[in-house]
């Protein structure tokens, strides 16, 4: 027994004995349109669920503004580039995140976190999970908003139809900043102040490409019965074939992929891109699906 006890420290030094389990990387969450950081039936629920399933994990649910109401309003009206800059500031100042973190974005929060990955490499984003994020944008219809925002949706819809690419609308309406009209590609490339930039539509920013390629995993979840994102394949980085609005093409057939302007082709070949589908409408999923499919990427 004495000899066995004496051998344990030696075995530990050699790495042959299991030590304490490594803590899970922190998680940063960004909510979608019309939501807030701490809504008890959405992001607050997700935060508590992750904390319950992964004991000891640090979860930061992003709040843009000084109150929950302002956070919700900013999801409609605060310039996305300013929101991304604010989030980069929050992350840089959070001592819990300095050794790296995973990120999970819901709907537009998915593409906004991708912008964070591309623009703000410190602290390091380890993996990005985009749940219903519109990575090639969305267009046509803007069919509905979450919650009790129908009148607001009607106003936004009319505003987008009248001039999504005008300077005033681009700078003050979030949804215009990822409005991608396949019949007005040149206008989109020239005037989109957010999506066209992070999707390298006006030239290749090598820093954006390098930073995105540093991700260990880029997980994209598409809702197979989505009635909110048009086209739904945008959630897998696909879009309409240029010049029309009926036929869609997957990411691998887009010029973005073929020219590898973001490094997605190289990431795909390296097994870093994960495409997941889930039955249901936009952001409709079960706790069981979340537990079995999403949580493993955080552990």
Active site residue 107: yes
Catalytic residue among 36, 42, 61, 107: 107
Active site residue 151: no
By the 10 Å C-beta count (0-12 exposed, 13-18 middle, 19+ buried), 81 is classed as middle
Catalytic residue among 226, 230, 260, 268: 226
DSSP 141: -
Angle at 129 between CA 201 and CA 125, to 5 degrees: 80
Cα separations (Å) of 277 from 128, 232, 252?
16, 11, 17
Coil/strand/helix, residue 290: helix
Beta bridge partner(s), residue 30: 105
Catalytic residue among 31, 135, 180, 282: 282
> Measured between alpha carbons, how far is 163 from 4 in angstroms, rounded to an integer?
77
Compute the radius of gyration of the chain from its Cα atoms.
21
> Measured between alpha carbons, how far is 243 from 275 in angstroms, rounded to an integer?
26
Active site residue 282: yes
Cα separations (Å) of 28 from 50, 57, 86, 96, 260?
11, 11, 14, 11, 27
Backbone angles phi, psi at 136, to 5 degrees: -110, 15
Q: What are the residue numbers of the active site? A: 107, 226, 282
């Amino acid at each position: 027994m004495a000899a066995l006890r004496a051998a344990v420290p030696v075995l530990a030094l050699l790495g042959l004995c299991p030590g304490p389990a490594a803590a899970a990387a922190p998680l940063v969450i960004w909510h979608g349109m019309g939501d807030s950081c701490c809504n008890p039936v959405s992001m607050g629920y997700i935060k508590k669920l992750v904390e319950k399933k992964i004991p000891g994990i640090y979860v930061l649910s992003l709040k843009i503004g000084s109150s929950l109401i302002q956070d919700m309003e900013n999801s409609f009206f605060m310039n996305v580039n300013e929101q991304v800059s604010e989030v980069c500031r929050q992350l840089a100042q959070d001592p819990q995140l300095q050794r790296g973190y995973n990120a999970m974005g819901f709907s537009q929060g998915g593409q906004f976190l991708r912008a964070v990955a591309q623009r703000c490499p410190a602290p390091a984003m380890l993996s990005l999970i985009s749940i219903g994020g519109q990575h090639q944008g969305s267009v046509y219809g803007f069919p509905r908003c979450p919650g009790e925002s129908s009148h607001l949706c009607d106003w936004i819809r009319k505003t987008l139809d009248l001039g999504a690419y005008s300077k005033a609308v681009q700078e003050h309406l979030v949804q215009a900043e990822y409005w991608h009209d396949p019949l007005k590609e040149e206008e989109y490339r020239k005037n989109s102040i957010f999506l066209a930039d992070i999707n390298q539509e006006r030239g290749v920013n090598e820093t954006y490409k390098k930073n995105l390629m540093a991700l260990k995993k880029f997980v994209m979840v598409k809702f197979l019965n989505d009635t909110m994102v048009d086209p739904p394949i945008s959630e897998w980085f696909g879009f309409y074939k240029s010049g029309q609005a009926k036929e869609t093409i997957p990411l691998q057939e887009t010029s973005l992929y073929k020219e590898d302007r973001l490094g997605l082709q190289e990431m795909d070949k390296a097994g870093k891109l994960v495409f997941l589908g889930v039955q249901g409408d936009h952001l409709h999923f079960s706790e069981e699906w979340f537990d079995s499919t999403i949580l493993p990427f955080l552990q």
